[in-house]
Amino acid sequence: MSTAELRNLPSIDRLLQAEVVVQARQQFGQELTLQTARELLEAVRSDIIATDATCPSLPELALTLVEQLQLLSRPTLRPVINATGVIIHTNLGRALLSDEARAAMDSAGAGYSNLEYELEAGQRGSRYVHAVDLLRRLTGAEDALVVNNNASAVLLCLMALARDREVIISRGQLVEIGGGFRIPDVLQTSGARLVEVGTTNRTHLADYVDAIGPATAALLRVHSSNFRQVGFTAEVSLADLVALGREHGLPVVDDLGSGTLLDTTTYGLGYEPRVQDSVQAGATLVTFSGDKLLGGPQAGLIVGSSETIARLRRHPLTRALRVDKTTLAALAATLTHYLRGEATAKLPVWRMIAASGDALAARATEWTAALRAAGVSAEVWPGESTVGGGSLPGETLPTSLLALPGLPPDRLAGLLRAGDPPVIARITRDTLVLDPRTVAAVDEETLLRQVIRAATDQNT
């Protein structure tokens, strides 16, 4: 061990006087710069003692310090380019918001608003009014309530209606949504007792009838959002459940998961239950997500009978699930697009779903040409995009992919993820592919630059 080298270690004052560090102090603040400089010098000192390393020069140390400061103050939540072709990608933030929704969030965040204030009367109001009228109009429901997400919406419904009592559900609907949301667990958390009826593949009305007893509080239907049953299957229709519920004075809760206001079959997709259809069929409460097919902010929307919604509103849990003003602002702006009949044009989720095959092929072809011009061999492949987010399982939309055959896909994917901004791609048939459907036009140039860099770096 040689400590002679330690004499070359600059004092903290000298490090702080280095020109780049003086600039960094302006940007990152005195406190953080000082603390980071101390930590850096301490780390270098330990390194010298432990490994006989040579002491870096003052300019080297100054640069390292600035790099560390940049790293420390870089947000961990960063924009990425989603080239996976999965439109509602839960890991990448689900639905993108419309320009109008983002502007509404900005203005709600920047200034005071009449969030809970009745301007005419000059008195306290309710934050829920800002979405209720829109939701009533769009779904045909008597009343509506907005909470943090759909998981909490389901929890609230069960707690308010069925605590310490029984909820009947088909065995075919005891689903796990992902992210640990399992219907049996939610039921248990709510304090309601789960009564399973039928079998995994087939449940009949008689199964529900047999299970109804004095302790029954509600009938629950859960949409099997993320998987599909085929073959010898039977489910009881919502209309039949509603009729049964009426006969016995029981509320029917319909958890649609994604839920949609638009008809998915118009876009070449399978049928995803529409919220207004469930309301029409007479469900007492219908719950769905704000950031799946609705294309808005994270929220849980509950629509249904005014009497039952009033009960939910009074429940203490509702206060704990209260949504933020920026969420309400974005939600109202999103719903307004539907009201004006401009949802497909304005909402990114629906724009991506509705993107034409020709437009996608043209973009993939352009990308390929740009890569070839840069010496990267690329091809256009036919492929499939998915809606994702627990909607329309097994359903795909035809797309054109940019494929990079002949290059190591895992290494390439890693290099793309390490870029700034990171690009998230997909691997198909041992080849890295990028789907233009989920890539915004403004990100194309950046994406291509990143791909060229990664393709060039992969063999170094």
Ligand X SMILES: *Cc1c(COP(=O)(O)O)cnc(C)c1O
Q: Check binding of 255 to ligand X (CB under 6 A).
A: yes
Nearer to ligand X, 98 or 225 (CB): 225
Q: Measured from the CB atom, is 293 or 439 closer to ligand X?
A: 293
Q: Are the CB atoms for 198 and 170 separated by under 8 Å?
A: yes
Name the residue nearer to ligand X (CB basis): 177 or 347: 177
Among 289, 308, 336, 400, binds ligand X (CB under 6 A): 289
Looking up tokens 């603390």, which residue turns up?
35
Does the protein bind ligand X through residue 272 (CB under 6 A)?
no
For 189, counting Cβ atoms within 10 Å of its Cβ (0-12 exposed, 13-18 middle, 19+ buried), the class is exposed
CA 240/CA 271 separation, integer angstroms:
19
278 binds ligand X (CB under 6 A): no
**Does residue 436 belong to the site contacting ligand X (CB under 6 A)?**
no
Angle, helix 150-162 to helix 306-314, in steps of 10 degrees: 100
Q: Does 308 bind ligand X (CB under 6 A)?
A: no
Contacts of 60 (CB under 8 A, 6+ apart): none
Nearest to ligand X of 177, 371 (CB atom): 177
Instruction: Say whether residue 86 binds ligand X (CB under 6 A).
Output: no
Residue (98 or 152) nearer to ligand X, CB = 152
Residue 98 sits in the site that holds ligand X (CB under 6 A):
no
Whole-number Å distance between alpha carbons of 132 and 125: 13
Residue nearest to ligand X (CB): 257
Name the token pair of 248: 């016995």
Looking at 137-145, 250-258, 403-411, 448-456, which segment touches ligand X (CB under 6 A)? 250-258
Query: In this chain, which of 190, 225, 264, 284 binds ligand X, going by CB under 6 A?
Result: 225
If binding is defined by CB under 6 A, does position 92 make contact with ligand X? no
What single-letter amino acid sits at 358?
D
Residue 195's H or E segment, with its range, is strand 193-197
Which of 40, 65, 108, 151 touches ligand X by CB under 6 A? 151
Closest approach, Cβ 387 to ligand X, in A, equals 12
Residue from 36, 82, 150, 400 in contact with ligand X (CB under 6 A): 150
CB-neighbour burial class of residue 104 (10 A; exposed 0-12, middle 13-18, buried 19+): buried
CA neighbours closer than 13 Å in the CB half-sphere of residue 143: 13
Q: Does 235 bind ligand X (CB under 6 A)?
A: no
Asked if residue 177 binds ligand X (CB under 6 A), the reply is yes
Sequence-ordered alpha helix ranges (H) in 52-182: 58-72, 99-110, 129-139, 150-162
Shortest distance, position 376 Cβ to ligand X, whole Å: 38
Tell me: does residue 216 bind ligand X (CB under 6 A).
no
Residue 388 interacting with ligand X (CB under 6 A):
no
Minimal distance, residue 68 CB to ligand X, in Å? 37
Cβ 289 to ligand X, closest distance in Å?
3
Q: Is 221 in the site for ligand X (CB under 6 A)?
A: no
Using an 8 Å Cβ cutoff, are 397 and 437 in contact? yes
Question: Measured from the CB atom, is 222 or 434 closer to ligand X?
Answer: 222
Is 383 a binding residue for ligand X by CB under 6 A? The answer is no
With CB under 6 A as the contact rule, the residue among 217, 222, 294, 378 that binds ligand X is: 222
Q: What are phi and psi of 356, to 5 degrees?
A: -80, 150
Question: Total binding residues for ligand X by CB under 6 A?
Answer: 15
Nearer residue to ligand X within complex by CB, 252 or 415: 252
Q: Could you tell me which residues come within 8 angstroms of residue 444 by beta carbon, excluding any fewer than 6 positions away?
A: 363, 367
Kindly indicate which of the ranges 103-111, 143-151, 378-386, 442-450 contains the residues binding ligand X, using the contact rule CB under 6 A.
Answer: 143-151
Q: How far is 21 from 13, CA to CA, in rounded Å? A: 11
Beta strands 300-304; 143-147: pairing state: antiparallel
Radius of gyration of the chain (CA): 28
One-letter identity of residue 69? L
Tell me whether residue 117 or residue 181 sits nearer to ligand X (CB atom): 181
Alpha helices of 249-305 — where are they, by DSSP H? 275-280
Around Cβ 302, how many Cβ atoms within 10 Å?
28
In whole angstroms, the minimum distance from the beta carbon of 148 to ligand X comes to 8
300 lies in the binding site for ligand X (CB under 6 A): yes
What distance in Å separates the CA atoms of residue 197 and residue 194, rounded to the nearest whole number? 10
Using an 8 Å Cβ cutoff, are 389 and 380 in contact? no
> Near ligand X by CB under 6 A, which window of 220-228, 264-272, 318-326, 346-354?
220-228
| 181 touches ligand X by CB under 6 A | yes
Site residues for ligand X per CB under 6 A: 149-151, 154, 177, 181, 222-223, 225, 255, 257-258, 289, 300, 390
